[in-house]
Amino acid sequence: MRNTARWAAALGLTAAAVCGPLTGAAVAAPGAAPSSLYAPSALVLTTGHGSDAATATPERAVTLSCAPTASGTHPAPADACAELRGVGGELDALKPSDDVMCTKVYDPVVITVQGVWQGKRVSYARTFGNACMRDAVGGSLFAF
């Protein structure tokens, strides 16, 4: 009997929380918007010199948020967010620009990106032969 009473109370509270009170009709105000239409998109990007992400010491780091508007400490958040949207958030899909010519001097630069892109966890690390090669691939996204 005691468990039945607890079950009924829990069910009643759940129904009230989900459906609202049983008295009167719940009517949304015209034009009322949900609290957020956007999945979270917040990233931390780092760059540093080294052969891989495990051994490179980060030299700079910026934040980038793309929803609902571009913001963060990134110097060009709107351009960086547009670049990310252009590849659907798939950082491996970023390709070098055809109009950039880089030297073959090996001075490795590591980029890491950690965070959330449209509600999905992101963990990315890539080593480039030098800063020019990084800039040719990352465009505005990696220019910080």
CATH classification of 42-138 is 3.30.350.10, yes or no? yes
Residues 6+ apart with CB under 8 A from 80: 64, 66, 70, 74, 140, 141
The domain segmentation of the chain, as residue ranges, is: 42-138
Q: Which helix (H) or strand (E) holds 137?
A: helix 131-138
Which of the pair, 129 or 99, is modelled with greater confidence? 129
Q: What is the pTM of this model?
A: 0.70
Answer yes or no: is pLDDT of 3 > 90.
Answer: no
Query: Taking a C-beta distance cutoff of 8 angstroms, is the pair 91, 100 a contact?
Result: no
User: Residue 104 CB: number of other CB atoms within 10 A?
Assistant: 8
Which DSSP symbol is given to 118? T
The tens digit of pLDDT for each residue in 42-51 reads: 999 999 999 9
